[in-house]
Amino acid sequence: MRRLALFLIFLVVPVLGQQSTLEVDPNLFLVMAAINAAGYDSDLASNANSPIRAQIRNWVEQNKPPVLDQLKEFYAIHRKSDPSRDLSQFISFALCIEKYDAADGPSFRYRLRLSELPPDVQELDGFEKLITRFYRETKLADLLARNQAILDQSTAPYHDPVSNSLQQIDGYLRNPRANGVKGNFHVFLDVLAAPNQIHMRSYANDLFIVLTASPEPQIDYIKSAYMHFQIDPIAMRHITDIESKASLIDFALGAPALDPQYKKDFALLTVASLVRAVDARMMPARQRAAAIDIALKEGFILTPYFAESLVDYEKQEQSMRFYLPVMVKGIDAKKETARLDAVVFNAAPRERRAKLAPQPVFEVSPAETTLETAEEFYGKKDYKKASELFRLALEQTNARPIKGRAYYGLARLAALNRDPQLAVDLFEKTIAEGAEAQVSAWAHVFAGRLLDLAQDNDAAKKHFETALATVGASPAAKKAADDGLRGIRPTQP
Q: For 67-113, give the secondary structure using H, E and C.
A: CHHHHHHHHHHHCCCCHHHHHHHHHHHHHCEEEEEECCEEEEEECCC
Average pLDDT, whole number, for the chain? 83
Strands across the sheet containing 198-203: 21-23, 8-13, 185-190, 206-212, 198-203
pLDDT at site 187 = 83
pLDDT band for position 181 (50/70/90)?
low
Closest by alpha carbon to 279, among 217, 223, 235? 223
Mean pLDDT in residue range 24-53: 87
pLDDT band for position 37 (50/70/90)?
very high
pTM score above 0.75: no
pLDDT at site 337 = 94
- Concatenated DSSP letters for 200-259? EEEETTEEEEEEE--SS--HHHHHHHHHHHHHHHHHHTTHHHHHTTGGGHHHHHT-TTS-
pLDDT band for position 179 (50/70/90)?
very low
Mean pLDDT in residue range 223-248: 89
pLDDT at site 92 = 93
pLDDT band for position 363 (50/70/90)?
very low
pLDDT at site 266 = 92
Q: In whole angstroms, give the CA distance from residue 230 to residue 171.
A: 12
Closest by alpha carbon to 316, among 302, 327, 329, 305? 327
pLDDT band for position 102 (50/70/90)?
very high
Mean pLDDT in residue range 198-217: 81
pLDDT at site 360 = 34
Kindly report the length of the chain: 493
Residue 425's H or E segment, with its range, is helix 420-432
Q: In whole angstroms, give the CA distance from residue 275 to residue 135.
A: 41
On the question of pLDDT at 215 being above 70, the answer is yes
> Using one digit for the tens of pLDDT, what is the confidence trace for 480-491?
888 888 887 665
> Using one digit for the tens of pLDDT, what is the confidence trace for 150-164?
666 656 677 788 888
On the question of pLDDT at 256 being above 50, the answer is yes
Among 47-61, 117-131, 177-191, 382-396, whose mean pLDDT is lowest?
177-191
pLDDT at site 153 = 60
Q: In whole angstroms, give the CA distance from residue 138 to residue 36.
A: 14
- Paired strand residues for 9: 189
State which of 40-49, 58-67, 195-204, 277-286 shows the largest mean pLDDT: 277-286
Q: In whole angstroms, give the CA distance from residue 300 to residue 298.
A: 6
- Burial classification of residue 355, based on how many CB atoms lie within 10 Å of its CB (0-12 exposed, 13-18 middle, 19 or more buried): exposed
Q: In whole angstroms, give the CA distance from residue 337 to residue 345.
A: 14
On the question of pLDDT at 380 being above 90, the answer is no
Mean pLDDT in residue range 243-252: 92
Selected residue with higher pLDDT from 29 and 437: 29
pLDDT band for position 474 (50/70/90)?
low
N- to C-terminal Cα separation, the chain: 52
Selected residue with higher pLDDT from 323 and 216: 323
Mean pLDDT in residue range 328-336: 94
**Domains defined for the chain, CATH in brackets:** 8-212 (no CATH), 237-341 (no CATH), 366-486 (1.25.40.10)
Q: Are 38 and 75 spatial neighbours (Cβ–Cβ below 8 Å)? A: yes
On the question of pLDDT at 24 being above 90, the answer is no
On the question of pLDDT at 356 being above 80, the answer is no
pLDDT at site 354 = 47
